[in-house]
A and B are shown apart, each in its own frame.
Chain A
Amino acid sequence: DAGVIQSPRHEVTEMGQEVTLRCKPISGHNSLFWYRQTMMRGLELLIYFNNNVPIDDSGMPEDRFSAKMPNASFSTLKIQPSEPRDSAVYFCASSLGGWDTQYFGPGTRLTVL
């Protein structure tokens, strides 16, 4: 298995632009997680899906952030409009179910100028 796949690996954009991050979980995994990592705040959970349904989105910073999982093999995290404080590394992870062992992707490094 190729593991969790994220794209793009790096994204540089200007403030106000829309950003879409993509994730393909490991085949057969039922749960998907989006995390954000910054030096100041460390690694924090943004949203968690189980069987394509959002279960916990309490970590989503504000309405500018939205996440979807249209099917079991694809999820997106969208930021519109983006702001410089959104600059971070965004990780996607998947697991067989729930909070069991999670497998992380390589991350997307987002820079908002």
Chain B
Amino acid sequence: DIQMTQSPSSLSASVGDRVTITCRASQDISNSLAWFQQKPGKAPKSLIYAASSLQSGVPSKFSGSGSGTDFTLTISSLQSEDFATYYCQQYKSYPLTFGGGTKVEIK
């Protein structure tokens, strides 16, 4: 199985900050990487697929990059609605696997 490791597990940031979350795969997954946002008590929301493609309706302040084993999610200017937990997921092969999540909190 492909293991996905996210870092950090949590971070504190201020409104307006630029935030970067990293995700590392245990083997080459090409660009088969997705990012999700989840707020407490809600279903996940899909943000990015194919490592860098924005899902429909997702604002351009979110961006993704990387290929192979190392990936990043960047939020260019953090807003109050962006405080949430973020997950990466590989879909290169079954079983699909998620990273452990990164909780973005208000500083």
Interaction A to B = no
